[in-house]
Amino acid sequence: MLTVKAVHVIFMVTWFAGLFYLPRLFVYHCDAVTAAERERFALMERRLFVMMTIGAVGTALFGIWLLVAYAWQAYSGNGWLHLKLTLVALLVGYHVYLWRLTQSLARGTARHGARFYRWINEVPSLFLVAIVLLAVTKPF
């Protein structure tokens, strides 16, 4: 079980690395001056999105394995697990939102400026702190 948990955490780190860096690429993309720079950032964003999606899928698969094999029977009556799963579902929604932003930047139809992307760059930090605290401390 510890190996499954370790692989779950490894995939989670990969996913979060992308969640932290992709909005930063959006900032650079907005600040790009030439078409060649914008194309380069669009390519980087697309490739990073693929890698972070692999991290998200791995996180989900190994998380489901842990949930089915261990956590659900042990903790299904505890509120922390339900809150953690809700936060993970919201994080998946944020991931999908980043995909939409990636697409709009690549098409040149983005409605937001660099300042907006700097702000949304903070969102994954809030999720990470809350999810890890819930998983480690199991407060309720």
Quick: pLDDT tens for 41-65: 999 999 999 999 999 999 999 999 9
Query: Residue 36 belongs to what domain range?
Result: 2-137
- Give this prediction's pTM: 0.94
CA distances from 122 to 15, 21, 59 (A): 15, 10, 21
The pLDDT of residue 71: 87
What is the tally of structural domains in the chain? 1
The pLDDT of residue 13: 98
CA distances from 74 to 6, 10, 60, 68, 89 (A): 19, 23, 19, 10, 21
Share of the chain above pLDDT 90, in %: 94
The pLDDT of residue 72: 86
Model pLDDT for residues 83-101, shown as the tens digit of each residue: 999 999 999 999 999 999 9
Burial of 91 (0-12, 13-18, 19+ CB in 10 A): buried
Mean of all residue pLDDT scores within the chain? 96
